[in-house]
């Protein structure tokens, strides 16, 4: 049960950071610095601390409308492993955030990205290789940077 205590402690600290940010006790720059310094020694863990931050935000239903913060979880989408954490047929952290913020263009693009980078997507989609979404995804070049650009544009417009 020690691992649960560690996760609970991290979640409490992230909830405190979220609250401080939303109450404007700390700036976005200070929040980013705090999150980055938490795992400054390892790029892989940096992605997880941001995901954990947003999981806390989702649980509290207090998602910051910050393109800079949101884009941190889209910065390094490992196309070799990301489907372990999120599937386009399910609502993983990233999809839930995009839905809550009502950024439909970014959500659609991210869904295409997931389908394009999953070698088994034709099996999971109704109609297989003839599914229009599958065809569109396979014929579209999408990078994590494209998704980040759309998120930034959509959030700034609202």
pLDDT confidence of residue 85: 40
Q: Does 40 score more than 90 pLDDT?
A: no
Among 71, 16, 21, 81, CA closest to 46: 71
What's the whole-number mean pLDDT along residues 100-119?
89
Q: Which of 107, 105, 94 minimizes the C-alpha distance to 153?
A: 105
pLDDT tens digit sequence for 123-137: 777 888 898 988 999
Domain ranges for the chain, please list them: 1-64, 82-158
What is the value of pTM for the model shown? 0.79
Question: Is the distance from CB of 11 to CB of 53 less than 8 angstroms?
Answer: no
Mean pLDDT for the stretch of residues 90-107? 87
């Amino acid at each position: 049960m020690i691992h649960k205590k560690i996760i609970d402690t991290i979640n409490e600290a992230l909830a405190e950071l979220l609250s401080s940010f939303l109450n404007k006790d700390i700036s976005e720059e200070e929040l980013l610095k705090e999150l980055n310094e938490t795992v400054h020694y390892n790029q892989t863990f940096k992605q997880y601390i941001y995901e954990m931050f947003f999981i806390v935000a989702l649980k509290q239903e207090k998602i910051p409308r910050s393109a800079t913060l949101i884009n941190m979880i889209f910065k390094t989408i490992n196309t070799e492993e990301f489907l372990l954490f999120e599937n386009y047929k399910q609502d993983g952290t990233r999809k839930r955030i995009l839905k809550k913020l009502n950024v439909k263009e970014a959500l659609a693009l991210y869904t295409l990205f997931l389908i394009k980078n999953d070698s088994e997507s034709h099996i999971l989609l109704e109609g297989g290789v003839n599914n229009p979404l599958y065809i569109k995804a396979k014929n579209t070049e999408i990078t994590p940077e494209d998704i980040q650009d759309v998120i930034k544009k959509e959030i700034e417009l609202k």
